[in-house]
């Protein structure tokens, strides 16, 4: 595992190799499970608004945050950084960079920034090359702190799921459940909960909640994804409203088998594509090969940010080699024609011995009596 300081040293070494004097990281402050945040990689700070971080070859950092009053919190979180609070990140960043007129710049985060911020940055720093790989390659393995935060996020997710089983019943709407789960996760210490929750007798996919009321015979799908200290963990769960049919039990056992095949394949030296193939093979062996590819399924898991979403998707086209310290999601979430879409998935940490699930209890089909 690595520490935050060791990660910064690795980035500085890559800067030296690339001939970069400064790396400028930008982020719009809108935190989403699929969007990496280079400002968090360089500073460890999760901003409320648009933010930037400037790193020089010596490891010195300048953190620019908005709104201005959030500078006090930033200084507490990042005591080693020079913090600038303002209300226009781009203008404050330009003022900092103007003090280094001959510096060779690399910029990280431009490719995922919204157009309004990206255009201003591209216009101001037209001579800067992309430094996404320099920043995010160094963050492919989580720090010791990030791993601890992922474990806590997974603990919160499991408690949140337990709460779902206590409060879900016919007549309650999906939205009511989702609101209650978001509140409950925050009461447990989560900053947020990126939740997908829906119910139907035959789900076509997992979707955001609606006002639809849960009914006897439904299958509830829940992707519960709390964040803790800026680190995400996710669990994927399936609940039968009422006694599950033998067919549903059998098919759910199949997706659990597929998940375990993926977890077993996730060892140092294997690739993300290998993990995907192992999951697919378990389903293909039972005649579901057609449903293992688009339009039915695109991936079998994904990275977990916020800072970096490396090693990326568990997908056949991802050649990333697994190494200790990587944290990501393995979920063979699968549409089966007999039962509809079923959710099953755990967050894992790659260790020298293989993949370690961060959850205390593996996914199993639940029944609401």
- Mean pLDDT for each 10-residue chunk of the chain (369 residues)? 90 95 93 90 94 94 97 95 94 90 90 82 82 93 95 98 97 97 97 96 96 98 96 97 98 98 98 98 96 92 91 96 97 96 98 97 95
* Structural Rg of the chain based on CA atoms: 22
CA distance 265 to 120: 44
Q: Note whether 293 and 277 are within 8 A (CB).
A: no
Interatomic CA distance for residues 38 and 133, integer angstroms: 10
What are the tokens at 221?
Answer: 């799908």
Q: Evaluate whether 81 touches 62 at the Cβ level (below 8 Å).
A: yes
Helix (H, G, I), strand (E, B) or coil at 350: strand
Instruction: Give the Cα separation of 236 and 333 in Å (integer).
Output: 8
pLDDT of residue 249: 98
The secondary structure element, H or E, covering residue 154 is helix 144-167
Give the C-alpha separation, 334 to 343, whole Å. Answer: 7
Give me the residue spans of the domains in the chain.
4-138, 144-368
pTM of the model: 0.93
**Spatial distance between the Cα atoms of 254 and 238, rounded to a whole number of angstroms:** 13
CATH entry 3.40.50.720 includes domain 4-138: no
CATH 3.90.230.10, domain 144-368, yes or no:
yes
Q: What six digits make up the tokens of 70?
A: 């959030």
SS3 61: strand
Quick one: CA dihedral 364, 259, 145, 48, positive or negative?
Answer: negative
For residue 30, the number of C-alpha atoms closer than 13 Å in the C-beta half-sphere is: 7
Q: Measured between alpha carbons, how far is 313 from 107 in angstroms, rounded to an integer?
A: 24
Show the tokens assigned to 58: 């010596």
């Amino acid at each position: 595992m690595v520490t935050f300081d060791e990660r910064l040293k690795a980035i500085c070494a890559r800067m030296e190799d690339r001939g970069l004097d400064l790396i400028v990281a930008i982020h719009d402050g809108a935190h989403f499970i699929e969007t990496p945040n280079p400002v968090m990689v360089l500073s460890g700070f999760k901003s409320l608004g648009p933010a930037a971080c400037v790193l020089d070859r010596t490891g010195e950092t300048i953190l620019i945050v908005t709104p201005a009053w959030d500078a006090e919190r930033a200084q507490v979180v990042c005591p080693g950084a020079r913090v600038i609070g303002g209300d226009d990140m781009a203008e404050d960043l330009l003022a900092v960079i103007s003090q280094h007129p001959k510096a060779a710049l690399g910029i990280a985060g431009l490719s995922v920034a919204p157009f309004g911020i990206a255009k201003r940055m591209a216009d101001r720093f037209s001579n800067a090359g992309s430094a996404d790989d320099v920043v995010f390659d160094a963050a492919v393995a989580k720090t010791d702190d990030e791993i601890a935060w992922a474990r806590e996020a997974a603990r919160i997710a499991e408690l949140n799921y337990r709460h779902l089983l206590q409060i879900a019943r016919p007549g309650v709407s999906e939205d009511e459940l989702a609101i209650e789960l978001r509140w409950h996760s925050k009461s447990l210490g989560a900053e947020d909960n990126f939740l997908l929750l829906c119910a139907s007798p035959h789900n076509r996919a997992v979707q955001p909640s609606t006002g639809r009321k849960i009914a006897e015979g439904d299958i509830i799908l829940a992707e519960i994804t709390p964040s803790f200290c800026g680190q995400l963990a996710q669990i994927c769960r399936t609940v039968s409203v009422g006694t599950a049919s033998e067919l549903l039990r059998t098919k759910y056992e199949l997706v659990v088998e597929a998940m375990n095949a993926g977890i077993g394949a996730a060892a140092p030296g294997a690739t993300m594509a290998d993990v995907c193939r192992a999951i697919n093979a378990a389903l293909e062996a039972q005649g579901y090969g057609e449903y293992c590819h688009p339009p039915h399924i695109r991936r079998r898991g994904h990275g977990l940010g916020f800072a970096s979403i490396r090693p990326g998707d568990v997908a056949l086209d991802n050649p990333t080699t697994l190494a200790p310290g990587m944290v990501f999601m393995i979920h063979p979430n699968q549409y089966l024609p007999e039962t509809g879409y079923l959710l099953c998935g755990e967050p894992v940490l790659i260790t020298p011995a293989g993949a370690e699930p961060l959850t205390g209890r593996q996914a199993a089909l639940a029944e609401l009596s």
